[in-house]
Amino acid sequence: MADDYRTESDSLGEMDVPADAYWGAQTQRAVENFPISGSSFSRRFVRALGIVKKAAAQANRDLGLVDDEIAQAIIDAANEVIAGDHDDQFPVDIFQTGSGTSSNMNANEVIANRASVLLGADRGSKAVHPNDDVNMSQSSNDTIPTTLRGAARMGIEHDLLPALEALQGALEEKAEAFDDVLKSGRTHLMDATPVRLGQEFGGYAAQIEHAIQRIELASNRLSEVTLGGTATGTGLNCPEDFPETALQHLTDATGLSFYKTGNHFAQQAGKELYVDAHGALNTLATALLKIANDLRLLSSGPTSGIGEITLPVIQPGSSIMPGKVNPVQSEQVMMVATQVTGNHQTLTVANTHGNFELNVMMPVMAHAMLQSIDLLANSVDAFRGKCVEGIEADRERCRELLELNPSVATALNTAIGYDKASEVAKTAAKNRESVRTVVKRMGLLDEDELDEYLDIRRMTQPGVPGDAS
């Protein structure tokens, strides 16, 4: 049994650590202290933390602060963390110390022990020291927020924005393909004046375009990072040239720009930029929910719903009703959107706990932010590929429902007046007749006038029916 463990120490004393673990005493204490959720940080966060530690080691080497051999060993170990070789070595629960110190020390210990092994020393030997070497020129209080911003930017730029751009393109293709499909508009879930199905899909595409613009702006603002502030924002134990040097390495590694904040006190204690950035994700979530729910309703049926479009059939819909098919992709989008809005509330409340020089909610903020990015990117990609691209218009059904839409009478306002048009509409709705049929029976307009005023295509464009100009 004793062979299964080794003894490591920290400032509180000795701890038994699994013999094959790369983590050390502080990580082990955190594992034992925080058996909360069973969830540790995502691959995205661990990768970003490895990139930050690598950039710090490169900067410390460039500035002559650490031995070249030790620096290279740290860089090599960090590269393995970045590649995902040691994901099982990051067991610390998300719900931990509010600064994220446990996760920072987890990375310091794993990289230090792995670097020691690469140099031919034993785990726990501290041939490479987790604090003195790996954490040199840093504090958890500037490293963790820098990691979050790096992870968020990489997730947004490399995954979420490409997924959204592809979805926008798919919606624009449907808008063009359905431009000739005339159908009933709906307001308050009730029949309204006609629209083109292509116009509806064009609206969806524009919603995604606007979301992209907001998210791009938010991502750019996350370029401002706290590295160099160390514990309280003063930069104690951080050489003057370290932040810029490290951030250049961070920029080179990610392909994304990062720069040192102009005020560490504002950014280490206040997390408004996180809330602001997630606000763009939250707004996207509400847009996606509207689009997904519209498609769910437009495809409802097959006999008792609207049925103006058909969605791709990708799986059986019921364990008891044979042949039933459900709008499952729309439903996953709606659930993801709901989770993201909940994450936004978490970030909002968490930001209120910036006390003096530190916000003590950083781990849960990181978890919420990165979960939202990953959920949205994956959800949007699946929604596009398994739903939107395969949508078809039921042109006959659109025409059938439009024929009986009493709101078509709105186009007659300038010809016969609102009151008479209202009478026509009510009669058409009561008798389930077309507006044209009712007007002809009432003798209000002749055939040529009806053709002029009841030109459905013209109703979907700006202008006044019957106005020759």
Q: Which two tokens stand for residue 460?
A: 């979907």
**Of 30, 48, 27, 224, which is closest to residue 109 (Cα–Cα)?**
27
Q: How many CB atoms sit inside 10 A of residue 435's CB?
A: 26
Catalytic residue from among 37, 39, 257, 318: 318
Is 299 one of the annotated active-site residues of the chain? no
CA–centroid distance for 88 within its chain: 25
3-state secondary structure of 197: helix
Proportion of the chain in helix, strand, coil states, percent, rounded to 5: 60, 10, 30
Angle CA 324–330–333, to nearest 5: 140
Is 318 one of the annotated active-site residues of the chain? yes
Catalytic residue from among 188, 304, 319, 469: 188
The string of DSSP letters for 72-119 reads HHHHHHHHHHHHTTTGGG---BSSS-TT-HHHHHHHHHHHHHHHHHHT
Q: How many residues are present in the chain?
A: 469
Identify whether the C-beta of residue 374 lies closer than 8 Å to the C-beta of residue 44: yes
Identify whether the C-beta of residue 249 lies closer than 8 Å to the C-beta of residue 74: no
Q: How large is the angle between the packed helices 362-386 and 43-62, nearest 10 degrees?
A: 120
| Residues noted as catalytic | 188, 318
